[in-house]
Amino acid sequence: MDRRVVITGMGWITPLGFEIDSVWKRLLAGESGVAMTSIFQADEFPTKFSAEVKGFDLRKFLGPDHDAHRTASRQSGFALAAARLAWDSAALGKTNGLDRTRVGIYLGGGEGPLDFENFAAAAVNGWVYEQDTLDAQRWAEVAYERLDRVRELEQDPNMAAAHIAQLFGVEGPTFNTLTACAASTQAIGEATQIIRRGDADVMISGGCHSMIHPLGVTGFNRLTALSTRNDTCVTASRPFDRTRDGFVLGEGAGMLILEEYEHAKKRGAHMFVEILGYGSTADAFRITDIHEEGRGAIAAMRGALRDARVSPNEIDYISAHGTGTEENDKIETLAIRAVFGEFARKVPISSIKSMMGHLIAAAGAVELITCVLAIRDGVLPPTINYANSDPNCDLDYIPNKARPGKVRTCLSNSFGFGGQNDTLIVRGVG
């Protein structure tokens, strides 16, 4: 029989703040973290706003350990801070005799140029080199002189995991996945499997990402995936609303401590929830579009339910992927209807992307934390900015106001570019 896996610690760095309960309070109040972009000059972009992490200082989280991680990229810094919060939440640092060879890491981590100005200069010179081989030497000089070697290394998606391993001295299995917007949900699901099969007792899992830079915004604008409501940006993220016009780019990190049940029990750890089910599929369709009949999303949810050995009518809440794009919201609704049947109209659904924006590789982990908190407190976060019903999105999206209710079992969806679909199911321990 598979070993049971529980969550014993949580931490996040979000556009609404850093502390678990204060951010949760803001989510339940329906507050928005969206504002005009300040990280870079976005005036000439079709989308001039985002959901930035404000007031972040890694030194406040790491203290004397900061110097060893001073080269960390923005996303690695978010990951380090969230991991520290989760580690402390689980009281692992106070655990005598913790076998750190049995503690692993599985992250969904992003990527991107850390030093965009110099990256662009090297790229332009590379283009010149392609046109005139006489400029080859000059291109090499620019690339060598202007691109910092350490910061270039920090662009690699696995660097966040490497930093975390160093911070806590953990030597167990360590992985990073970059399956776009599904990455951290997939990471948590795969970390669960590692513990289940006995390859680790504890896994630090979640995701981190920051794409609020010219390259990230350019790419999403060219795909017409971002909202362009520059005059009303605070209400631009409106999942499932008929007037939705794209998602709002966010950033941050969410980290959870996953632990084998008996290991957690032996050390007297608080167990927030148990991870019951995980489903993972590929659409095998288009790179940027979810399958029009939702076949991958349907299969992922059914796989998670089968793995959890629960029926659809046992789900008390669905944390939707809910990006606010026309196609995603319509097809996710279709998929939920297919999986849940008549019960689809009874199960509450919401998308916190309406408040935090889309944290890309970090989104699923942050959204799973809200499921844990919903179970803990018996209250469900709203989908804000919902005012106009869409006949293609006709379910209960908890519009605009948080809702109290009995919550024991939650399902969380994440769907990524490339056709990746991942679903997790968690339940209160008892």
All structural domains of the chain, each given as residue ranges with its CATH number in brackets, are 7-113+155-428 (3.40.47.10), 116-153 (no CATH)
> What pLDDT is attached to residue 1?
53
Mean pLDDT over residues 149-176, rounded?
85
Are 384 and 415 in contact by the 8 Å Cβ rule? The answer is no
Over residues 170-203, the pLDDT tens digits come to 999 999 999 999 999 999 999 999 999 999 999 9
> What pLDDT is attached to residue 124?
55
Give 73's pLDDT tier (boundaries 50, 70, 90): confident
Give 322's pLDDT tier (boundaries 50, 70, 90): very high
Mean pLDDT over residues 260-275, rounded?
97
Q: How far apart are CA 160 and CA 209, in angstroms?
A: 10
Mean pLDDT over residues 269-291, rounded?
92
> What pLDDT is attached to residue 128?
47
Percent of the chain at pLDDT > 70 equals: 89
Q: E strands, 167-313, where?
A: 174-177, 202-210, 251-260, 273-282
> What pLDDT is attached to residue 288?
77
Are 184 and 84 in contact by the 8 Å Cβ rule? The answer is no
Are 80 and 255 in contact by the 8 Å Cβ rule? The answer is no
Nearest to 49 by CA among 39, 62, 57, 60: 39
Q: What is the DSSP code (8-state) at residue 402?
A: -
Over residues 136-145, the pLDDT tens digits come to 555 556 555 5
Q: Which residues contact 188 (CB under 8 A, 6 or more apart)?
A: 106, 205, 206, 256, 258, 275, 278, 364, 365, 368, 424
Mean pLDDT over residues 238-260, rounded?
98
Give 113's pLDDT tier (boundaries 50, 70, 90): low
Give 129's pLDDT tier (boundaries 50, 70, 90): very low
Helix and strand totals (H; E) in the chain:
14, 14
Give 146's pLDDT tier (boundaries 50, 70, 90): low
Question: How does the average pLDDT of the chain come out, rounded?
Answer: 92
Of 42-56, 213-227, 334-348, the one with minimum mean pLDDT is: 213-227
- pLDDT value at 101 more than 90: yes
- Could you give the residue numbers annotated as active site? 181, 321, 358
Of 72-81, 271-280, 390-399, the one with minimum mean pLDDT is: 72-81
Alpha helices in 154-213 (DSSP H): 159-168, 183-196
> What pLDDT is attached to residue 286?
82
CA dihedral 220, 366, 379, 56 (to 10 degrees): -90
Nearest to 78 by CA among 183, 211, 191: 211
Give 156's pLDDT tier (boundaries 50, 70, 90): confident
Of 34-38, 140-144, 392-396, 397-401, the one with minimum mean pLDDT is: 140-144
Of 42-56, 150-164, 354-368, 404-418, the one with minimum mean pLDDT is: 150-164
Q: How far apart are CA 261 and CA 8, in angstroms?
A: 10
Q: How far apart are CA 66 and CA 139, in angstroms?
A: 35
> What pLDDT is attached to residue 145?
58
Mean pLDDT over residues 345-361, rounded?
98
